[in-house]
Amino acid sequence: MAGLRKIRMSGNDMVPWHVLAVSWLFLLLPTLFVTDSGAPRLFSGAALAAAAETPSKGKQLLDDLVRRARQEGALNATVYIPFRGKIEAQLVEAFQKRFGLQIKVTTAAGASAQEYPKAIAETKAGAPSAYDTLWGTATDNMVLVGAGGTQRVENWEALLAEINPMVGSGKIRPEQISPRPLQGHGFLGWSRPKALVYNRSVISKDDLPKTHSDLGHPKYKGKLTQPAWPDSWDIAPAVFEPFDKEKWLQIIRKTAENTYSVEFEIPGTQRVVLGEVGLAFDNAGHALSLLHKDPQLPIVIAYFQDYNPIIDFLYVVRKGARHPAAATLFAMWTTTPEAATIWQTADDFVTQLRLGDSALDRKVRETITRNSAPMIGFLDNEKTAKVLEWYSTEEGTKFRRAIADAIRGK
């Protein structure tokens, strides 16, 4: 070929110089020269292969966490009330299998509104934590974080990427699982939209309250049941601008005058089913579960026109936990699709409204879209996050207690 320099081999055989150069390069491939501080270093092919097999930072952190959890040998955790029993046992079994653990796991089903005041009292008294990890709403967790009752997980992003495949694949960002202002403290398990459930035999669609302030109208006297916790009311500072705290408490007190009973959502909705009352605050998923079992029930899911809360539930690791490594593994594992496939079999139809893509999650989103329901939660954006953070202050904590008192008419 014209223009190619040839190197004589033997006899009359001629080999192009560039072919010979490529041959030399292949001979040298098992080694590489890398400059470090100006000095050449030689790495063999075997060394490079070994380096490729070195676990990632996240994998190393996870392996160390699992090792320490085995040494701890136990875990005490709370579980969501709808998970108690069969699902509770399935969650524990799957958790142990996922990390190759054989530790003693003790779980207790309890409401966050009851467990978190105890945790705060333990923290203030310097007493040991009753639980290593516990679930609660975003506001409950924010108050506990503000009281110094939670342990921030170091390197939580890398650990989440190893534990949750949706994070590892990049489909979900770490900050969606552990959002501000709870980053590194709280890990999102499930998100449930609040709704208004009514009995069409007791109250007509046209007579439904359109806003929360409408609940104080005399025509709803004795027709409403609601839970004792502030979750249906405490998002208001992020909704209304300007926000008048005292005016809002008066609205809640007026609603209390019309309230037939203050109790858990499930028995409250059962009263609606039986026609004892016309309205109940409930989780949309729970109402759907009742209709799924019996489509002939006289109940209908409705939404307010001013706002409808998204209640986010997160696990935290307690400050001073006896088994912090096991607690961290459990808190992060509950965020995974594997855990969701178990807890979404609960009779209560628990949803992951924000991140889930199950048939149930899509069904609940469809009801929201069909009703053009305005939804809002503390994990939505910077504005809602600031309100959530405010609830960890003395002023915010005092206001939330005032909401709880107002629900009972105080």
150 within domain boundaries: yes
Angle between helices 284-293 and 265-274 (to 10 degrees): 50
Encode 7-16: b = buried (16+ Cβ within 10 Å), e = exposed: eeeeeeeeee
Q: Give CA–CA dist 135/152, Å, rounded.
A: 15
In terms of domains, do 75 and 113 share one? Answer: yes
Nearest-angstrom CA–CA distance, 67 and 101? 9
Mean predicted confidence (pLDDT) in 35-52: 43
Span 262-282, pLDDT tens digits: 998 889 999 999 999 999 999
Is there a single domain that holds both residue 233 and residue 322?
no
Percent of the chain with pLDDT over 90: 76
pLDDT mean over 217-234? 95
* Residue-range definition of the domain harbouring residue 82: 57-191+312-358
Q: Look at residue 1 and tell me if it is in a domain.
A: no
Of the candidate ranges 10-24, 188-202, 271-285, 389-403, the one whose mean pLDDT is the lowest = 10-24
When pLDDT is cut at 50, 70 and 90, the band that residue 220 belongs to is very high
Same structural domain, 351 and 378: no
pTM value? 0.84
Domain count, the chain: 3
Q: Do 33 and 154 lie in a common domain? A: no
Residues 79 and 148 in one domain: yes
Instruction: Kindly state whether residue 334 falls inside one of the protein's structural domains.
Output: yes
Residues in contact with 151: Cβ distance below 8 Å, sequence separation at least 6, in sequence order: 185, 316, 317, 318, 319, 320, 321, 324
CA dihedral 173, 194, 213, 238 (to 10 degrees): -10
253 and 382 in a single domain? The answer is yes
Same domain, 136 and 22: no
Looking at the predicted structure, is the pLDDT value of residue 25 above 50?
A: no
User: Do 80 and 153 belong to one domain?
Assistant: yes
| Same-domain status, 66 and 86 | yes
101: phi > 0 → left, psi -120 to 50 → alpha, else beta; which? beta
Is the confidence at residue 38, as pLDDT, over 60?
no
Residue 402 and residue 290 in one domain:
yes
Residue 27: its pLDDT value, please?
Answer: 37
Q: What is the per-residue pLDDT across 126-182, written as a single tens digit (0 to 9) for each?
A: 999 999 999 999 999 999 999 999 999 999 999 999 999 999 999 999 999 999 999
User: Do 73 and 23 belong together in one domain?
Assistant: no
**Predicted pLDDT of residue 53:** 55
